[in-house]
Structures are given as structure tokens and as C-alpha cells.
Amino acid sequence: DVKVTQSSRYLVKRTGEKVFLECVQDMDHENMFWYRQDPGLGLRLIYFSYDVKMKEKGDIPEGYSVSREKKERFSLILESASTNQTSMYLCASSLSLYEQYFGPGTRLTVT
Amino acid sequence: QQQVKQSPQSLIVQKGGISIINCAYENTAFDYFPWYQQFPGKGPALLIAIRPDVSEKKEGRFTISFNKSAKQFSLHIMDSQPGDSATYFCAASGKDDYKLSFGAGTTVTVRA
């Protein structure tokens, strides 16, 4: 069965902290994605990766960076967390151009 | 701005009724249109998808209708059940494009 796991379901951080969100997939997928989900805005793509050490900016990359050192793991980094980064963060992976498999999400609160 | 506009934001339907969610797009390069379903506390999951070479696709009680000239597509949930209560997202992507552009989402509540 397909599985995408995220390191935390809930996270509370202070403004200015460096935050790491981890995502692991067990499907040997080439592509991995990070989205943020906000009410009324849907899912917005932050970054995606189509291979190890390869990354591309999505629609809202400002304030974020990513790391993909191994095929199964894709990390989202908030270099200096701000309150406007309080959101639900979703990781996804895909083998083909089409179906994306999502993790359960991490609800991040920045105070 | 969002490349895919979705409406309504929420809807309530009685058990057995029909739920209809509409999406519109401007980018004529889009050629793949999936719908994702998300239950509370879970990530979205692919429900059904359509390519523009067909006008309708049906899987069980879920049907996508696609109008290429109007650049619109919609999801119909027939005989809605309480277990269908979820948030539904339409999305679109271009040919050979890994990225999906999502709509804002519609929260469907089915009353027993």
C-alpha cells in the first residue's frame, strides 16, 4: 500500500526559529512536492523535486527552502519562521505525471 | 492568482441528493483535470480524473463533466451519502507538467 509519512502532525514554533518538516515516501517515486493548504486558497505549491538533489520553485517559494538528499525523503525548511507561515503543510509524491499521493499533513503554528 | 476557480465554497445536500461542484480555467495548455477528495485529518486523495478528449467520465456515483469550449468542468455526486462529506478540490495540469494547480476547495456536507 502506498504510504507518505510526515514527521509531525502538529508543530508549534516561535517567530524566528528554523523549522524542518520531513516527508518520507516508500513507493520509490521520482517526484515529491510540498504544498501549503489555507482556507479559501486551496493547495498552493511551494517546491517540488523530480530527482535527488533536484528542485524547482513552485508558486509560493518565498521564505522556504527544500532538501532532497535521498530519493525517499524530501524536507521543507523555514529558515526564519514567521506568523504568516502558520498553515497546514502537505507533502505528496508521484511516479507519473498524474496521480499524486499525499501525506496526512503537518499543522504548523508560529507564535 | 489561482489558475483554477472553484465554486461553491461549501454546500449542504440531503442524503440521496445530487452535489454539484464547478471549476473554470483560463490556461488552454491544461490537458489533465483531476478531482481530489479530502476527509478531516487526512491528506487529499485522487477521486477521479478526465482528459479533454472526452466530455464525461463516470466512476460509480461520481461523474466529471467537461466543456472544453467553455473551459469549465464539474463534479457531480449522485445519490450523495453521509460518507461523501469531505472537501473536494479540482485541479489542472499541462501536458508533460508535473505540477497541479488546485482550486480553492468545496466543503460538502451530506445530511442524513
pLDDT at residue A66 is higher than 80: yes
Which pLDDT band holds residue B97 (cuts at 50, 70, 90)?
confident
Domain membership of residue A54 as a residue range: 4-98
- pLDDT over 90 (residue B95): no
In a domain, A109, yes or no: no
Mutate to test the interface with A, among B98, B106, B107 (most CBs of A within 10 A): B98
Question: Measured between CB atoms, does A105 come within 8 Å of chain B?
Answer: yes
pLDDT at B2: 77
Question: Which residues 66-95 of chain A have a CB within 8 Å of chain B?
Answer: 90, 92, 94
Greater confidence (A97 vs A44) lies with A44
Smallest CA–CA distance, residue A56 to chain B, in Å, is 10
| Alpha-carbon span B36 to A101, nearest angstrom | 10
Q: Which amino acid is at B79?
A: D
Judged by CB atoms closer than 8 Å, whether chains meet at B42 and A100 is answered as no
pLDDT averaged over every residue in chain A: 94
Domains in chain B: boundaries? 4-111
B76-90 confidence digits (pLDDT tens): 999 999 999 999 999
| In the predicted structure, residue A98 carries a pLDDT above the cut 80 | no
Residue A110 covered by a domain: no
Count of domains for chain A: 1
Per-residue pLDDT tens digits for B31-75: 999 999 999 999 999 999 999 899 999 999 999 999 999 999 999
**CA distance to partner chain B, nearest, from residue A79 (Å):** 24
The architecture of the domain spanning B4-111 is: Sandwich (2.60)
CATH of the domain at A27: 2.60.40.10
Is residue A59 in some structural domain? yes
Mutation for testing the B interface, residue in A97, A99, A106 having most B CBs under 10 Å:
A97
Q: DSSP string covering A82-107, please?
A: -GGG-EEEEEEEESSSS--EE---EE
